Amino acid sequence: MEALIKLGVSDPELAATLARVLGVVASEAARTPRFARVLGKALIPPEPRAVPQPAERPRRSRRAPGVIEPFAVFAESGEAGLRSRLSELDLEQLRDIISEHGMDHDRLAMKWKDPRRVIDRIVERVESRTAKGAAFRGRSEQSTTPHDEAGDPKAEDPPA
């Protein structure tokens, strides 16, 4: 009742509508015992059920783990280094990397027969995932450099 009074201060129209609805429900419950019983059951909160949570299953793959970690190689030696290391691998080893890192989003790369095409996919996905969020990381670095010093060679020259 107190909540309805508080609501009446901020939204009198809604408070009046709720009061009318509750009045009709209460009148019907007083008039009809069956309705009162059903209403009573509906207003009792249900007992919490123990819902079994599905066990987190590790991603199972029929493929072997990749023989190299492409993200580490890319971080260490860039695109050229990654391409060089990948070119030393056979097609099945490249597919192992694709599978392990979920790089076959369109379900095509595992069907490709050309190792260069698979290498391109790996490099593209590694670059994409590595660059993800770079716009936010770059912002904080840029904001710490004052505009006068950020590439204006005249700012470094002493006054003449």
Q: CA-to-CA distance for 116 and 91, rounded, in angstroms? A: 9
If one compares 70 and 57, the residue with the highest pLDDT of the two is 70
Q: CA-to-CA distance for 41 and 37, rounded, in angstroms? A: 6
Is residue 148 a part of any domain in this protein? no
Residues 61-79 pLDDT 10s: 688 899 999 999 999 999 9
Q: How far is CA 43 from the centre of its chain?
A: 37
pLDDT tier, 41 (very low <50, low <70, confident <90, very high otherwise):
confident
Do 94 and 37 fall into the same domain? no
- Please, what's the b/e burial string for 62-99 (b: 16 or more CB within 10 A of its CB; e: otherwise)? eeeebebebeebbeeeeeeebbebbeebeeebbbbbbb
Do 74 and 124 fall into the same domain? yes
Is residue 154 a part of any domain in this protein? no
Quote the pTM value: 0.49
Q: CA-to-CA distance for 70 and 126, rounded, in angstroms? A: 7
Residue 53 pLDDT exceeds 80: no
* φ/ψ (deg, to 5) at 52: -65, 125
Is residue 30 a part of any domain in this protein? yes
Do 81 and 131 fall into the same domain? yes
If one compares 83 and 48, the residue with the highest pLDDT of the two is 83
Is residue 131 a part of any domain in this protein? yes
DSSP secondary-structure letter at 133? T
Do 94 and 131 fall into the same domain? yes
Do 89 and 124 fall into the same domain? yes
Q: Which domain holds residue 30?
A: 2-43
Do 130 and 84 fall into the same domain? yes
Is residue 105 a part of any domain in this protein? yes
Residue 60 pLDDT exceeds 80: no
Q: What is the pLDDT of residue 70?
A: 95
pLDDT tier, 144 (very low <50, low <70, confident <90, very high otherwise):
very low
Is residue 48 a part of any domain in this protein? no
Is residue 11 a part of any domain in this protein? yes
Residues 16-34 pLDDT 10s: 998 898 899 899 989 999 9
Q: CA-to-CA distance for 122 and 115, rounded, in angstroms? A: 11
Total number of domains constituting the chain: 2
Q: What is the pLDDT of residue 4?
A: 79
Is residue 147 a part of any domain in this protein? no
Q: Is 52 left (phi over 0), alpha (psi -120 to 50) or beta?
A: beta
